[in-house]
Structure 1
Amino acid sequence: MSNPDVVPAGRLRTMRRAAWASIVANAVIVVTGGAVRLTASGLGCPTWPKCTSTSFTPEAHLHGIIEFGNRLLTYVLVAIAIWAFVAAWRTARRDLRKIAFLAALGIPVQAVLGGITVLTGLTWWVVGAHMILSMILIGLSVLLLHRTYSTSAPRRGPAVVLAWIVLAAAALVIVLGVVVTGAGPHAGDADVPRSGLDTLQVSQLHADAVFLYIGLTVGLLLLLLATGAPRASVRAAWWLIGVQLAQAVIGFVQYFTGVPEVLVGAHMAGTTMVAGWTTWLLLQVRQPPREPRGDEPVQDLAATTSA
């Protein structure tokens, strides 16, 4: 039996590739799910798990093909999740196995939630839960990637606390974005009712949360610079601020131009980057990583911290 404190470099590289694949695949399915909603194809397959009452495949119409294509991507996610779990198992590191298992478990949960979304007629908050779960899976995949680099014990201090607050602010922004979506157009089908909330008010609340989120991130960057934090942490903060500003610009432009489909899709893609980079920043601040060389010992982090 292999020593769990020693991970061959080749197995770590495989683990990283699987983690990257999981990040990309979960982001892609968010974008394609957005395409389903923005083309009013949400009920292109009106039932679940079958596409129609008699068949698993759609009828020959565009909405059905778009929705069915998005469903097929679930199998890609399953394959990647299996790959990641096998790769994690081969490293013999308990922390990687635990994270990979949780990420894999999220895929069937996501599929069932997608089915509930269809069976409930695209109820806005169920659709929103579907989106939020994707953000969680992206976060887990980023955590999996980071753990292949990190060999240090978790840090404590004001910067770590502030990084957690930044993550909480990001979660608030994403949830409020879901609420805004539930009040606006692009429901996924022309006959789907909206939440009934005032679009202007919830959009303003969402914008306020965005300003708070960006302000907290800038504060974290200044704190990292003032305390001489590792360059990787500072670099992650700069990257996140860039993503935030780009996302904010898209959000404001889409609002004042009547939420055109292309910009809404871009905003959804940006949300996956917000989730991923915010998670990465927290992890960089909490456990600055270094690249293992060769077959050098790699600490089994499960012994010092939970996944």
Structure 2
Amino acid sequence: MSYPARTIRRVKYSVLRPLALASLIANAALIVTGAAVRLTGSGLGCPTWPKCTDDSYTTTSEMGVHGMIEFGNRLLTFVLVALAFATFFAALLNRPRRKSLIVLSVVVALGIPGQGIVGGITVLTNLNPWVVGIHFLLSIALIAGCYALWRRIDEGDAKPIPLVPAPIRHLAWITASVSLAVITVGVIVTGSGPHAGDQGAKRNGLDPATISQVHADLVFLLIGLSVALWFALRAINAPAHTIRAAGVLILVEFGQGIIGFVQYFTHLPVLLVAAHMLGAAITWTATLAVLWSLRTRPQQEAPNPTETLTPYESVTA
């Protein structure tokens, strides 16, 4: 008796996908709440860690609004942990079980407590600007992990198939590297500026004008590379979604660049600085979207039914 060829039906991850997206959004939100802590001078609103005070894990009325802002930022970590572990269990319980999703969910779930520890070190070091910078960059890494998990849900587990030639893929990776460099130098710029998170916190000692110029130069390079990538994709008639992803990245970069220049020439008003920090997360996400659009990952080919049927299935088929 012959068996019809089995096709691998895509499982509807009705719970997993929204959880992964929520985790991605929440990690971006952590950057915004972290910005609120710094820009309101609340970095030492809870002057110690892991407790908020020597006698209490929570803020007290005597600590005022700064304590509330800092403690609120700490509470968001618990939301991130809850989302990460819920995502892990959703990946674990879904069928067919996929190792790639489980691994990514574990990486994110472990990264969030690590991020919390680094946040504690920033408090214990009185907001050392280099430690604060690492704290921010860990959020960027977590966003990358969450984005990878979210996108992998709708992909198969076969070997990735490139959609564009190797030189263009190389250009895209160079663009992504410069995007990360822009964010990193932006962190250093912040560490040299006035928004330390507390009046007594030290700065990194670099000249703000000089490091800001380096940051601006990298931004121009990033926009130039992104525009070149967009034209290259159009020249080879790349898939529409790939060209669109590159176009969105350019628009995001222009918006982020405008905010950056306005905030610099208006002497860093707190609302624009907060918008610029959120823009960094959005720019990084748009960069990841471009990289993801350059390849496809189909489902693995269905195995031979005679090799996968159990004796019970073989008899009853």
Partner of 1:56: 57
Taking a change above 3 Å as real, the CA distance of residues 157 and 113 of structure 1, as seen in their structure-2 partners, is: same
For 2:52 and 2:65, locate their aligned partners in 1 and report how far apart those are by CA, in whole Å.
13
For 1:77 and 1:189, locate their aligned partners in 2 and report how far apart those are by CA, in whole Å.
25
Q: Following superposition of structure 1 onto structure 2, how do residues 255-274 of structure 1 map, counting pairs within 5 Å? A: 255-274=264-283
Q: CA deviation at 1:145?
A: 1.5
Partner of 2:117: 112
Mapped contact 1:99–1:144 kept (Cα < 8 A) = yes
Q: CA deviation at 1:102?
A: 0.8
Partner of 2:300: 299
For 1:49 and 1:83, locate their aligned partners in 2 and report how far apart those are by CA, in whole Å.
24
Mapped contact 1:146–1:280 kept (Cα < 8 A) = no
For 1:94 and 1:216, locate their aligned partners in 2 and report how far apart those are by CA, in whole Å.
35
Partner of 2:257: 248
Q: Following superposition of structure 1 onto structure 2, how do residues 66-105 of structure 1 map, counting pairs within 5 Å? A: 66-89=69-92, 90-91=94-95, 92-105=97-110
For 1:228 and 1:113, locate their aligned partners in 2 and report how far apart those are by CA, in whole Å.
45
TM-score normalised by L of structure 2: 0.87
For 1:276 and 1:289, locate their aligned partners in 2 and report how far apart those are by CA, in whole Å.
20
Mapped contact 1:149–1:289 kept (Cα < 8 A) = no
Q: CA deviation at 1:113?
A: 0.4
Mapped contact 1:254–1:264 kept (Cα < 8 A) = yes
Q: Percent identity?
A: 48
For 1:108 and 1:299, locate their aligned partners in 2 and report how far apart those are by CA, in whole Å.
34
Taking a change above 3 Å as real, the CA distance of residues 7 and 40 of structure 1, as seen in their structure-2 partners, is: farther
Mapped contact 1:18–1:80 kept (Cα < 8 A) = yes
Structure having the higher Rg? 2
Q: CA deviation at 1:6?
A: 4.6
Partner of 2:304: none
Taking a change above 3 Å as real, the CA distance of residues 54 and 284 of structure 1, as seen in their structure-2 partners, is: same
Q: CA deviation at 1:9?
A: 3.1
Code of the residue aligned with 1:201 in structure 2: it is T
Mapped contact 1:163–1:220 kept (Cα < 8 A) = yes
Deviations 1:136-192 (A, max 9, x none): 111111111111223362426112111111110011001100110010011000111
Code of the residue aligned with 1:29 in structure 2: it is L
Provide the alpha-carbon RMSD of the alignment: 1.6
- Report the secondary structure of 2:15's partner residue: helix
For 1:7 and 1:130, locate their aligned partners in 2 and report how far apart those are by CA, in whole Å.
41
- Report the secondary structure of 2:12's partner residue: helix
Q: CA deviation at 1:8?
A: 5.0
- Report the secondary structure of 1:122's partner residue: coil
| Higher RCO (CA 8 Å, separation ≥ 6 residues) | 1
Mapped contact 2:161–2:297 kept (Cα < 8 A) = no
- Report the secondary structure of 2:43's partner residue: coil
Task: Say yes or no: does 1:222 pair with 2:227.
Answer: no
- Report the secondary structure of 1:282's partner residue: helix
